[in-house]
Amino acid sequence: MKVALLFPGYGSQYVGMGKEVYDEYRIVQEYFEEASNCLNVNFVKLCFATSDAEIGVGASAYTSIFLVSSALYAILKQEGITPALVAGYNIGEYSSLFAAGSITFPDGLYLLNKLALFYQESVSTLDALIIRVRNVDTQLLTMVCEQVSRGDERAVIASYNTPAEHIVSGATQAVRAVQQRIVDGSAQATIEVVPLEFGLHSELMEPVARSLKIYLEKVDFKDVSTPVLSGMDGRMLLHGDEIKKRVIEQIVAPIQFQRVLQALQEYDLLVAVGPGMGLLNTLVAYYPEKQCLAINKPADIEKLKYSIQAARTET
């Protein structure tokens, strides 16, 4: 059985995430302790006893999602579960790089904390907006973005999630224009504003990329022990030098998660490892014929072990 592990990005965070595995597994407690020591943050309080608003702030969300996802992966590794492939959605790519052995846990925390801080500084000077658009064709949405864009007032597709779901980012006036045209032209379309913490994933992020690149030089990206799918184009990554380059490029490039999904065709079991159910829902909608699981709680881990063992028994 070929197992692919996928890690969620911003928006998957919620108060109480990781609590059940924290209470049951010592290794999860160790990860929380290490993260707290690395960043001088009380992650037990942040993840279990805070508010949605507080945990949704960039640095808090980025690092806590990475912490919980990494700790869940550590349990799977401890249980002898070895994936054939890993991937991540948006900042979930950092969790996939940790799972693949390319970066260490402290380096992932360090980079995500810096990314969030640089991004917050950058967007504080911008009049920007991000929206999620559902039930609109990619070609039509691309055309609308081009039509409303003028000079520096631009709107672009920041993430190609699925054929029926996209994220649009850019100057507020341009994004509002996209929103209005889509609403006027399609009765089926649904649009919602997305927090800026999602990331603009456009040329507006170039100052962030330049700032983070300085810190990336301090991080040793190793060749991976498990292949990683790039969120930029769905390509398989194996070498540390290329991964380091992609980490910077992904900041200013749109997320091509459709291509990641397409590349999962040959895998038997797709597992969303990390907080929330959004990533699992995406996998199930795209691959209704495949077995898809989410790992959040001890019972989820037992279900995954059973599924793998059952497949081995059948073969």
Q: Give the predicted TM-score (pTM) of the model.
A: 0.96
Digit-by-digit pLDDT tens for the chain (315 residues) are: 899 999 999 999 999 999 999 999 999 999 999 999 999 999 999 999 999 999 999 999 999 999 999 999 999 999 999 999 999 999 999 999 999 999 999 999 999 999 999 999 999 999 999 999 999 999 999 999 999 999 889 999 999 999 999 999 999 999 999 999 998 888 899 999 999 999 999 999 999 999 999 999 889 999 999 999 999 999 999 999 999 999 999 999 999 999 999 999 999 999 999 999 999 999 999 999 999 999 999 999 999 999 998 887 776
Sheet of 165-171, strands arranged across: 155-162, 165-171, 128-134, 190-193
Give the closest residue to 71 by CA, choosing from 108, 102, 39, 117: 108
Domains of the chain, start order: 3-122+205-314 (3.40.366.10), 126-197 (3.30.70.250)
| Contacts of 22-28 spanning 24+ positions with Cβ under 8 A | 22/48, 22/71, 24/298, 25/71, 25/75, 25/298, 27/71, 27/74, 27/75, 27/78, 28/71, 28/72, 28/74, 28/75
